[in-house]
Amino acid sequence: MCRIRCVAVLVTFFALMVAPAVSQAQYTFLVNGSFDDSPDWAQSGSGEFNAIAATYGVSPEPWQWTSNSWYQVIPPYYTGIVDGGFALANFLNNLPPGDVNLISHSHGGNVVIMSQAWSSRPIRRYIQLATPINWDFGNWRYALGYNTAGRCQASSTADWKQFFGSSPYQVGNFFYYSYQSIAGAIEAFEALLNGDYDSSYWWFAQSVFDAIEADYWLDTTKLEIEGPTFVFGGLSHAALHEPGVWNAIAPYCA
């Protein structure tokens, strides 16, 4: 009896040793930004596509949201982003089991965030390239954190499209404090020329404070607080979906 049982255990043991490991399917989807349903960077053969494929060892797929004309992505409705998020949520909900990586550009990142209003599908990695950090999307920005194992943002100091894609509240405050800083500096120089050193000092201090405030509002459009942000200097909005940027952030984000 023991011999039969022992043989069965040994057979099972060796079967488990030689059986092929059940591999988890892995999906990597590229989510487009505004104004272009099928951007070149997300297509097979592009430098970015190949770089991402080399990172994951599997070709990514370009998932598209199409309601992305200018009037569908401007505040305060953002109807295109809401519709895109709903479509993505339904897609993720019906996708077979497996790890999911989502790499998005520009407002595609906000489409992913919006999809979290409906989707509870776990996401392995969520990487935003030049996505406007838009405060209008409120609590949904933080909902993604509950389902995502890893998250990254890539921004550029010279990316004005990212800046204008943020909330008018953030953009407006930047310009308001920028104006106040310049106006304060003018007041300070006028006081200095008039020999009123006390007033001049006061206005200079106020001008510096306003400049710092303006810089804060600019940073709110670029720095993601729910994950690490890689800030590049001097790159355009489109340059953030190029292989150079991907290869720089992939070791930390992918």
Partner 1 sequence: MRPLLAVVSFSVAALLVSDAAAQTGPANMVALQAEVETVYNLSDGTQVRSSGRFYRSRSGQIREDSKLGAVITDVAAGTITMLIAETKEARVITIPPEQKQGPVRSNRPGPEVFEETTVAGHRVSKARGRGPQGQNIEFWTAKDLGVVTWTKTEAAGFTTTKELRNISTQEPSPALFAVPADYTVIEQEARSGNGPQRVLPRPRGQGSPPAR
8 A C-beta contact, residue 85 and residue 107: no
CA dihedral 7, 11, 17, 22 (to 10 degrees): -140
**208 class by beta-carbon count within 10 Å (0-12 exposed, 13-18 middle, 19+ buried):** middle
Question: Near partner 1 by CB under 8 A, which window of 10-18, 102-110, 170-178, 235-243?
Answer: 170-178
> Does position 176 bind partner 1 by CB under 8 A?
yes
β-pairing, 99-105 vs 61-63, is unpaired
For 118, other C-beta atoms within 10 Å of its C-beta total 14
Least distance CB 215 / partner 1 (angstroms) = 14
The span from the CA of 135 to the CA of 142, in Å, is 11
Which pair of structure tokens corresponds to residue 149? 């194992």
Region of residue 78 (left: phi > 0; alpha: psi -120 to 50; beta: else): left
Peptide bond between residue 60 and the one before it cis (omega within 30 degrees of 0)? no
Residues 201-220, one symbol each (x = binds partner 1 by CB under 8 A, - = not), give: xx---x----------x--x
Instruction: Determine if 194 is a binding residue for partner 1 (CB under 8 A).
Output: no
Q: Which of 47, 150, 185, 187 binds partner 1 (CB under 8 A)?
A: 187
Q: How many chain residues interact with partner 1 (CB under 8 A)?
A: 65
Q: Is 155 a binder of partner 1 (CB under 8 A)?
A: no
Closest separation in Å from C-beta 209 to partner 1: 11
Residues between 56 and 85 that touch partner 1 (CB under 8 A): 59-64, 66, 69, 71-72, 74-79, 82-83
Interface with partner 1 in residues 36-55 (CB under 8 A) = 37-38, 40, 42-46, 49
26 binding partner 1? (CB under 8 A): no
The Cα–Cα gap between 196 and 188 comes to 9
Structure tokens at 215: 């810089």
Chosen residue from 7, 9, 11, 93 binding partner 1 by CB under 8 A: 93
Tokens coding 134: 């838009």
Sole binder of partner 1 in the list 180, 185, 228, 238 (CB under 8 A)? 180
CB of 242 to partner 1, least distance (A): 15
Give, for 214, the enclosing helix (H) or strand (E): helix 197-220
- Residues of this chain that bind partner 1 (CB under 8 A): 27, 37-38, 40, 42-46, 49, 59-64, 66, 69, 71-72, 74-79, 82-83, 86-87, 89-91, 93-96, 117-120, 135-136, 138, 164, 167-173, 175-176, 180, 183, 186-187, 198-199, 201-202, 206, 217, 220
